Amino acid sequence: MKKSLKLKAKSQKLDQGFTIIELLVATTVFSIVLLVALASFLRMSQLFFKGVVIDHTRIAADQIMADLRAGFNSNSSYGNGAGYYCVGGSRYSYLLYKPVDLSQEDIGQPNPTHYGLVKDTPSGCGAPPGTPFVNPQELLGNHMRLSQLDISQASAPRAGKVYTISLKIAYGDDTALSDGGTSSPSCVGNLSLTEFCTVNSLFSALNLGQ
C-alpha cells in the first residue's frame, strides 16, 4: 500500500512538467548558445567576404602589371603626360584616388570624368579628353581606386632602356580607408569595416623591348 502511494506521488510530480525557473534557465542557456553560433557565423561571413575582396583586388593588380609589362616587351614606344601613359600601342589614362563606380562611368562620352584606369588604343599618344578614348576598357573593378601608378626611366647609363613600374590599388570607400586620397592608403582598424578594405602594391623593373 505504501509503495503504491509513493509511485502515485512520483507520477503526479512528473506530470507537473517544468517549473518557471527551469524554463527560464533553459531559455537563457539556449539563447547564449544561439548568440555564440550567430557570432561565429557572422565572423565566418566577414572572413569569406574579406577573402573575396583581397582576391579580386590582387587579380586586378596582377592583370594591370602583366598588361603593362607585355606592352613594354612587345613594342619600344613609350610616352607620358599628365594623367596618362602610352606603352606599346595602348594608352593608360587614370584618375588617382577616385573610387570606381561602374554604373556611373562615362568613358564612352566626349569628356569623361568618372573612371579609374582606362586602357584604350588611340591613333596617337595624347591626353584625354583632347584625344578621345578609342575602344576603352576600365581595368579596375567596382569600389577600387588607383592610389599610385608611376612608370619611370632608370638613370644613366641605362636611361631609356630600363623602366620601373610602381602600382598600388586600394579597395574600399572613404569610411573603410584611412588616407584614401593619398598614395599611402591603409585600412581603418574598425572590425566592421576591414572586410570592405584592402590595399595591393606591386613593383616591377624591366628592359624596354625585351
Q: What is the mean pLDDT of residues 22-41?
A: 76
| pLDDT tens track for 158-179 | 666 788 999 999 999 888 899 9
Q: Is residue 128 part of a domain?
A: yes
Q: Is residue 166 part of a domain?
A: yes
Distance, CA of 151 to CA of 163 (rounded, Å): 7
Residue-range definition of the domain harbouring residue 125: 30-207
Distance, CA of 15 to CA of 184 (rounded, Å): 71
Q: Is residue 9 part of a domain?
A: no
Per-residue confidence (pLDDT) for residue 159, from 0 to 100: 62
**Cα angle for residues 175, 178, 183 (degrees, 5° grid):** 125
C-alpha radius of gyration, the chain, whole number: 30
Give the DSSP letter of residue 155: P
How many beta carbons lie within 10 A of that of residue 165, not counting itself? Answer: 20
CB half-sphere exposure, 7, CA atoms < 13 A: 4
| pLDDT tens track for 49-86 | 787 888 999 999 999 999 999 888 876 677 888 899 99
Q: Is residue 23 part of a domain?
A: no
Q: What is the mean pLDDT of residues 92-118?
A: 90
210 pLDDT exceeds 70?
no
Per-residue confidence (pLDDT) for residue 76, from 0 to 100: 62
Rounded mean pLDDT of the chain?
82
Number of domains in the chain: 1
Q: Is residue 137 part of a domain?
A: yes
Helix or strand (DSSP H, E) at 202: strand 198-207
Q: Is residue 134 part of a domain?
A: yes
Q: Is residue 14 part of a domain?
A: no
| pLDDT tens track for 1-19 | 544 545 454 555 445 556 8
Q: Is residue 4 part of a domain?
A: no
Per-residue confidence (pLDDT) for residue 41, from 0 to 100: 63
How many beta carbons lie within 10 A of that of residue 167, not counting itself? Answer: 22
